[in-house]
Chains A and B, each alone.
Chain A
Amino acid sequence: MRKITFSIPEFYGWPTHLLVGGLLCLLLAGCRSDDQVEPLPAPDDPYAFVAPANFPPATYTFDNNPVSEAGFRLGKRLFFDPILSLDNTVSCNSCHNQSLAFADFPLHPVSIGVGGATGTRNAPQLVNLAFRREFFWDGGATHLDFVPLNAIENPVEMQEEIGRVIDKLNADPEYSGLFGEVFGQNRINTPQLLHALSQFMALMISNQSLYDQHLAGEYSLEPAEARGLALFETHCQGCHSGILLTDESYRNNGLDSSFTDVGRELITAYEGDRGKFMVPSLRNVALTSPYMHNARFNSLQAVLDHYSDGMVDSPSLDPTFRREDGRLGIPLSETEKSDLIAFLKTLTDRNFTNNPLFFKEQ
């Protein structure tokens, strides 16, 4: 009679029922579908995407592009590399600086592109992007992956063709190796570039401001800050709502009566959207001067002065700013403005702006 040979030494001498039972357990565990066996990220893994418990569900498609350490670091390298621009002079970092929550410098009220070209809008901060539905002042992108393309190809920003960027990256042996390590393909292509950048940006989570600590019961607001929060809840939270501090709607807040930049209308072709722009998140707002899509105001005081006394009328002005007495804006005293500013400063997240995770690596 033939004998069946097993060469696995561990089997030798084990009672059969234990052996079979153990195998059953092992194999049954293997039957669970992929999403169940995904290991929970270690809490101290800085490269794991972990959504804060009080945030809305992430919008980013991590199923297509899970964050890894190598992918994140590749994205970071690209973020700091002017290779993305026509003449290798402008990087993402040129207009998005970590110390300012990845907003642009006050000296660049609108973005400065290749050859000193000036844009028409103020570069926004980059925070909590993995939770956002739409991007840019006009909502021209609905997925984070597509956001960098707009900057790369814009004639007044990086002024480069995406095909040339991909050729430059493929010609660089170091990038070829790094991309190969992350994506396992022979040739770099556009989605790999955009996925790497998205991995870097997806981890830009700002949720450790004094305000967040207040929400968690770990910080008692100063009296002025507390009064400011009450005013914020009354006057501002209708639009700057939720934990992201924006409802992601498009609104006209009375900056102009006629429009050189039509804003949301550019995307929707709807005249009723003329002069509307996306409500910006107020996280880290004290760091992101100047303010508004066109960088009209240099200080929070100037912003609040606009809301109290500076608004001008136009057909698409948001109804929330029309008061019963026919005046426009939000009634605010100077003391109230001072309190509001005290509160807005609690939205600054120095743990985020100082986080070494995002520092440039040599």
Chain B
Amino acid sequence: MYLSNYKALCFALSILFVFSACRKEDDVPEPAEPQEFGTFDLVFDNVYGDGELSLVGTDDENFDYVNGNNQDFNITLLGYYITKIELTGPNGEYYADEMATSADPDEVKGFYHVLESDANSRTIRLNEVPAGKYDRVNFTIGVDADAVSEGATGGVLDPAEGGWLWNWDAGYIGFAFEGRSPASPAEATQWAPENAVQLHIGGWKDLPDNPSMVNNVKRNSIPFPSSVSVGERLEPNAHIEMNLLTMIAGPHATVDFSTTFSVHAPALGSEIAKNLATAFTVDHVHQ
């Protein structure tokens, strides 16, 4: 069957009109020129003092590092969650990494579990960064109340997939260091080897009526040594150094492994958590 041209025109126009009315209020008008985007990589390098850092197994009897109290130790696990990443630039450039929680791992966005044991996890690729110059990165170390209040989430926050979730005080461990030190008096248990040192920094709650409640989720804002351009054919990155020495012998806490070797609660980790503010620096950038 055929409709007349007039009817067809009316129909087509009505469709056009109605679909144009369907745009959400928060849609911004298309820019006059197409916006250009590029990628930006954040590469996390874990170091100890001026040197490199490497993991050993929990049965390793070599203790290659010395802490601020002259105690030998080794490193068996090191990692942290990086979330809520933002890039900013001198001319108002701004990029905020999308954040989303979901039971579907593919829908979880913006949570990164950076593990020394997993090289892939140490590079975070940011996509669709608006072209421009950037000279600062902001990020959160840990998983804050916004995410915890959404309930169970998949992907790197799934405890069955290696996510660091405390069950007794439901929330995520934001930063963890484990190793062994002859100075640690820890005896072997189901969960830890002899001479274990386990520093788990968690705790995300603020209670207005309880000043003792510890929120160890920290937000850092770190300048780049020089600005970096993002654009379609560019592959810039920034190398962020996390210095474990600053974490265990930093301005706020110098950890003595003979007394502080089992940190598994928010308050016990509060002073160490303050060292997070200076443990991360941008070492260099690549244009």
Contacts and interface: CB of A to CB of B under 8 A. Distances in A.
B contact patch SS: loop
Interface stretch (B5-13, B63-71, B78-86, B253-261): B5-13
B18 A23 contact: yes
B22 A191 contact: no
Nearest to B265: A269
A20 B10 contact: yes
Contact of B159 (A4, A163, A267): A163
A115 to B, nearest CB: 15
A269 B170 contact: no
Interface in B2-44: 2-3, 5-8, 10-11, 14-15, 18-19, 21-22, 24
Given A28-B21, A31-B22, A189-B161, A146 B10 contact: no
A12 B4 CA distance: 11
Interface in B147-183: 148-154, 158-161, 163, 165, 167-170
A4 B6 CA distance: 11
Interface stretch (A137-145, A281-289, A298-306): A137-145
B18 A189 contact: no
A153 interface: yes
Contact of B24 (A24, A33, A165, A194): A33
Interface stretch (B207-215, B230-238, B244-252): B207-215
Interface residues of B, number: 48
Contact of B148 (A31, A143, A144): A143
B158 A191 contact: yes
Contacts of A12: 1
A12 B2 CA distance: 8
Given A1-B5, A183-B103, A194 B160 contact: no
A142 B149 contact: yes
Contacts of B132: none
Given A33-B24, A268-B213, 20 more contacts: A6-B3, A6-B8, A23-B11, A24-B14, A61-B151, A65-B151, A142-B148, A143-B148, A149-B165, A149-B167, A149-B170, A167-B160, A184-B104, A185-B103, A191-B154, A191-B158, A195-B103, A269-B267, A270-B210, A271-B212
